[in-house]
Amino acid sequence: MLFTSIEFVGFLILVVALYYLVPRKIQWPLLLVFSYIFYYIADPRYLLFILVTTLSTYGISIVMENINNASKEYLAAHKAELSKEEKKAYKAGVKAKKWKWLLICLFLNIGILSVTKYTNFVINNINSFLNDTSKLQLVDMIVPMGISFYTFQTMGYIIDVYRGKQEAQRNPFKLALFVSFFPQLVQGPISRYGDLAPSLFAEHKFEEKTFTFGLYRLLWGYFKKVVIADRMLSAVTTLVQQPEVYSGTYVFVAMLFYAFELYCDFTGGIDITIGIAEMMGIKLAENFNLPYFSKNIKEYWNRWHITMGTWFTDYIFYPISVCGPMLKISKWSRNHLGEVIGKRVPVYLSSFVVWLTTGIWHGAAWNFIVWGLMNFVVIMISQELEPLYAKFHKRFSVKGKPLYEGFQIIRTILLMSAIRMFDCYRDVPLTFQMVGSMFTKCNPGIFTDGSLMQIGLTASDYIVLFIGLIIVLTVSILKVKVGSVREVLFAKPAFVYYAVMAVMFLVIMVFGAYGVGYDSSQFIYNQF
Amino acid sequence: MKNKRITAVFLVLILTLGSLYVLQRLLVPKYQTGIVEGSMVEEYYKDESDHEVLFIGDCEVYENFSTITLWEKYGITSYIRGSAQQLTWQSYYLLEDALKYETPKVVVFNVLALKYNEPQNEAYNRMSIDGMKWFMSKINNIKASMTEEENFIDYVFPLLRYHSRWSELTGDDFKHLFSKNLVTHNGYYMRVDSKAQSEFPDPRPLADYTLGEKAMGYMQKMVNLCKEKGIKIILIKAPTEYPHWYDEWDAQVVEFAKNNNVEYINYIPLQDEIGLDMSVDTYDAGLHLNTSGAEKMADYFGAYLKANYDLTDYRDNEKYVAIWQEKVDFYNAMKAQQYDELETYGELVSFGANAIED
């Protein structure tokens, strides 16, 4: 059931209506039932996977918490008898026990994720490595919807329980809802239990402001998704699927189109998700903070897919940075390579692992792995060039000047968009070749000779896209200037507040690229 | 304060619903010029008089029988409930729908559509179904007709289907926002131009000549419905030869008619007897008859109906004469306009493909 399908709209109306009609005590159980129905409709087989993840995480989190509690009791009971060393040894033993359970949980669930998503990727690479002397058969594997998202969310929870940062949820149904909450199941955001649980399980009474703010967010998401992203889809598909025809300046056009398509698709999808939750008083983590206003790549990654970035930082980057082997490498490199290089080695190695896994998480293809590593390379280079930038800024006093900031923003968009072309073309060499052709095969005549009318967009489509993107830009600037645009609207007379909402709805209805004649488009991030 | 907000919500809600209604009216195709076939089904409800003969079928009825000739020559009141590529189940549901309003003495069903056993084409579905009034017949028609790409909800809210027409709106869409002109003559689609029949391609052999179960099943339902209501049903195959009507198909319809004790007439071999000259009586090289051909066909068929069925000659009835005189005038005016255009431009400019607005 696509978020953009009429069936989903019907499903949503039913869920939200029932949510406020049923006794408040059964609001969250109702969401659990409908989340499972949502998943069942997608494919009944998916339920098995999400159940295994939920039950294994539930069981192991309880075991770990029992170990925690027992150890606390033991230590409290034997406080006077135990020496410092004995206490330390006891704690180490307890940690080792919990570690074993954590490993079981991680192996099982990351294992499911890896097997379902990456088996055929591995088989393809083995076949390719063996030069097709041995031909392993590909496996007909189902990839459960949203498995990357719910696995990461659940693993974050179990690691927090292991670290003692999070109490285990003793109600298996509540944990099941945390894992399967239907709006975020499709493409995130990757929530932390501690952030989501309070509002997810709270009782909510209908409040005009909360409900309509959610509705506004939902409509804004649909506007970006169906009016802009889905309209651009046909052009991007045409341009990237026929690289022999569309090279040179066409690649530049494809790059920009894809940048805006992905932005509107992904942020639109997240707006829909957050909007649905908000309509029911549930607060989900923000996943974007105007990423296309970033002035460098590091900032961009702090603003784009925020919940994924912080997940990788908390659960991969930091643990690797401070793990035993890394501390040894750090010590060794400081001793042998000097302080300057030595202190960078652990950071770079940890970053490398983070970006490698980020690439792999995005998809079972070399394109994504290279995409991840390209990000790593660019971030490291820009970090190394920071002193040079500082000198430049000091010498020319450009820092903070609007024109220079504009240049920085455009540079970041272009650089990120170029790297993102690995999403588009069928393999890595072709991507390099096509991106290279932007510089070697310049054909700017396509902007004036009508060629851009032959790529699946009509003149009226271009007008809608132009106006649509101007609206997105204006709202983004307003957000920077006034904070919450919805608060500003809410302060206006009620008629204005609701009339703007109605206009948004009508615009989506008329100008949306949906229905017969349009490819019904899955959200791009569904596949990750 | 709270009351003010509630009032604002209701006001905006009413305005939104009103806007949706107007937008929907604006964006749905009007079928007033060029492709007018989409108006045919809807037009039936505007005709308040009853009919003794009801034709049901595809273009082989609405282009091949002049209802006005049937009136002028025999005083027969008739209507054609047909639309482009109207499938057998669509004919059944249109018949069921029509019988809510009247009970004709004779129903005539053209059998060409039996060749289709599955939903075919969304555009034709919409032309055949959109104009129906909302009763169970329409709901069942939609269910039986939808192709895989279609959704039921798109029929309920046509805006969902036609929203993207905003960039194709023409003067017609605004002009006919709330009212439509008649485009047919009791369902008959007039074309006076002429293009001689040419050679048709040889019919290709089929792997299986069996007419589909679904199509035959709906024809059976049509027969049953007519019998139930005491209506005589005549199965016909119009005299046009293309698309090819296989002998094997014909034999199955003959068998069906015999088993159901109904009449079946294949008019293809009777072209000469009817007086059709396919070098002048067709406007599109033999696929459909033009007005000259349709009048000959109606004359021949009218005589047959008169001789074999107990039909009333309403030409003595003032009420009917008044109603039908208007129709005759409209028919003659359109005919004169079409002949005038032919003479002036050498082709029709306000009708058919030439009239499609950019």
- Can you tell me the distance from the alpha carbon of A123 to that of A126, in angstroms, rounded to the nearest whole number? 5
| Sequence-ordered list of residues with C-beta below 8 angstroms from that of B321, at least 6 positions apart, any chain | B314, B315
Statement: residue A527 has pLDDT above 70: no
Instruction: Give residue A361's identity as a one-letter amino acid code.
Output: W
- A163/A193 Cα distance (integer angstroms): 14
Average pLDDT of the residues in B210-222? 97
The β-bridge partners of B106 are B53, B232
Question: Angle, nearest 10°, between helix axes A249-279 and A6-21?
Answer: 20
CB contact under 8 A, A510 and B166: yes
Closest chain B CA to residue A231: B164
**Residue B68 has which token pair?**
């006005």
Which has the closest alpha carbon to A49: A148, A119, A126?
A148
Mark yes or no for CB contact A506/B159 under 8 Å: no
Does B29 have pLDDT greater than 60? yes
Binned at pLDDT 50, 70 and 90, residue A518 comes out as low
Do the Cβ atoms of A47 and A154 come closer than 8 Å? no
Local structure of B314: helix, strand or coil = helix
Percent of the residues in chain A that have a pLDDT greater than 70, as a whole number: 97
Look at B167 and A516 and tell me if their CB atoms are within 8 Å: no
- CB contact under 8 Å between B161 and A518, yes or no, is no
Q: Would you call B163 and A513 a contact, using CB atoms and an 8 Å cutoff?
A: no
Which of A230, A495, A514 to probe the B interface (max B CBs under 10 A)? A495
Q: What is the pLDDT of residue A525?
A: 57
CB–CB contact B4 A499 (8 Å): no
Which residues of chain A are within 8 Å of residue B12 when distances are taken between CB atoms? 495, 498-499, 501-502
Cα B82 from Cα B103, distance rounded (Å): 17
Q: Which residues of B touch A517 (CB under 8 A)?
A: 164
pTM for this structure?
Answer: 0.88
For A98, other C-beta atoms within 10 Å of its C-beta total: 21
441-480 in A: which are within 8 Å (CB) of B?
458, 460
Residue B83 and residue B62 in contact, taking contact as beta carbons nearer than 8 Å: yes
* Helix H or strand E encompassing B118: none
- Least Cα separation, residue A501 to chain B (angstroms): 9
Residue of B nearest to A7 (CA): B153
So what's the pLDDT on residue A238?
93
Measured torsion, CA atoms of residues A77, A82, A84, A86, in degrees rounded to the nearest 10: -110
Token pair of B71, please? 């009136």
The answer to whether residues A178 and A196 touch, using CB atoms and an 8 Å cutoff, is: yes
CA distance B38 to B91: 15
Distance CA A467, CA A446 (A): 22
The length of chain B, given as a count of residues? 358
pLDDT for A519 beyond 60: no
- Give the pLDDT mean for B59-72: 96
Q: What is the pLDDT of residue B245?
A: 95
CATH class of B2-199+208-355: alpha beta
Percent of chain A topping pLDDT 90: 65
pLDDT tens-digit map of B150-173: 889 999 999 999 999 999 899 999
Domain boundaries, chain B: 2-199+208-355
User: In this structure, what token pair is assigned to residue A387?
Assistant: 């002193």
**What stretches of A280-385 show up as alpha helix (H) in DSSP?**
297-303, 306-312, 318-321, 324-342, 344-362, 366-384
Tens of pLDDT, residue by residue over A231-268, are 999 999 999 999 999 999 999 999 999 999 999 999 99
Does the pLDDT value for residue A131 go beyond 80?
no
Tokens of A98: 């919990």
* B147 at A interface, C-beta within 8 A: no
Strand partners, B232: B106
8 Å CB contact between A475 and A191: no
- For residues A269 and A218, give the distance between their C-alpha atoms in angstroms, rounded to a whole number: 9
Reported as a single tens digit per residue, the pLDDT across A51-72 is: 999 999 999 999 999 998 898 8
Test A505 with B16 for CB contact under 8 angstroms: yes
Cβ contact, residue pair B122, A460, below 8 Å: no
Q: Is B53 helix (H, G, I), strand (E, B) or coil?
A: strand
CA distance B170 to chain A (A): 15
Which one of B1, B3, B6, B9 would you mutate to disrupt binding with A, by most A Cβ within 10 Å of its Cβ? Answer: B9
Kindly report, residue by residue over B104-113, the tens digit of the pLDDT.
Answer: 999 999 999 9
Among A498, A508, A519, the residue to mutate for chain B (most B Cβ within 10 A): A498
CA distance A230 to A260: 11
Token pair 């392993």 is found at A136
CA–CA gap between residue B59 and residue B86 (Å, rounded)? 8
How far, in Å, CA of A490 to CA of A497, rounded? 6
DSSP string, A446-466: GGTSSGGGSSS--HHHHHHHH
CA of A214, closest CA in chain B: separation in Å? Answer: 16
Contact: A502, B27; criterion CB under 8 Å: no
**Chain B residues touching A460 at Cβ < 8 A:** 166-167
The rounded distance, in Å, linking the Cα atoms of B6 and B10 is 6
As beta bridge partners, residue A366 has none
Nearest CA in chain B to A459: B167
The dihedrals phi and psi of B304, each to the nearest 5 degrees, come to: -65, -45
| Closest C-alpha to B133, from B141, B122, B123, B124 | B141
Tell if the CB–CB gap between B19 and A512 is shorter than 8 Å.
no
Residue B167: list chain A partners with CB under 8 A.
458, 460
Least confident stretch, A131-145, B73-87, B291-305: A131-145
* Contact between A494 and B23 using a beta-carbon 8 Å cutoff: no
Q: Are A47 and A40 in contact (CB under 8 A)?
A: yes
Q: Touching check for A13 and chain B: CB below 8 Å?
A: no
B7, B139 Cβ separation under 8 angstroms: no
Does A509 contact B159 at a Cβ distance shorter than 8 Å? yes
Give the best residue of A6, A458, A495, A510 to mutate against chain B (max B CB count within 10 A).
A510
Work out the average pLDDT over B247-268.
Answer: 96
Residue A155 β-bridge partners: none
pLDDT tens across A38-52, in order? 999 999 999 999 999
Q: Choose the most confident range, by mean pLDDT, from A5-9, A161-165, A212-216, B343-347.
A: A212-216
Residue numbers in B near A518 (CB within 8 A): 164
Q: Does A521 score more than 60 pLDDT?
A: no
Q: How far is CA A336 from the centre of its chain?
A: 39
Residue A257: which of A271, A245, A269, A246 has the closest Cα? A246
Q: What is the spatial distance between Cα A140 and Cα A123, in angstroms, rounded to a whole number? A: 12
Q: Kindly report the nearest CA distance between residue A215 and chain B, in angstroms.
A: 14
**Yes or no, beta carbons of A516 and B122 under 8 Å apart:** yes
Confidence of residue A96 (pLDDT cuts 50, 70, 90): very high
**Per-chain mean pLDDT for chain A:** 91
The beta-carbon neighbor of A494 closest among B8, B16, B150 is B8
Confidence of residue B185 (pLDDT cuts 50, 70, 90): very high
State whether A6 and B153 contact (CB < 8 Å): yes
User: Do the Cβ atoms of B163 and A515 come within 8 Å?
Assistant: yes
Give the pLDDT confidence score for residue A526 in this predicted structure: 56
- The answer to whether the Cβ–Cβ distance between A494 and B4 falls below 8 Å is yes
How many residues are there in chain A? Answer: 528
What mean pLDDT do residues B67-77 have?
97
Q: Give percent of chain B above pLDDT 90.
A: 88
Q: Is B265 helix (H, G, I), strand (E, B) or coil?
A: strand
What is the mean pLDDT of the segment spanning B281-299? Answer: 95
ipTM of the modeled complex: 0.86
Bridge partners (DSSP) of residue B55 are: B80, B108
Residues B267, B250: Cα–Cα separation, whole Å: 11
Asked if the C-beta of A517 comes within 8 angstroms of chain B's C-beta atoms, the answer is yes
Q: Is B17 on the interface with A (CB under 8 A)?
A: no
DSSP designation for B80: E
Q: How confident is the model at residue A132 (pLDDT cuts 50, 70, 90)?
A: low
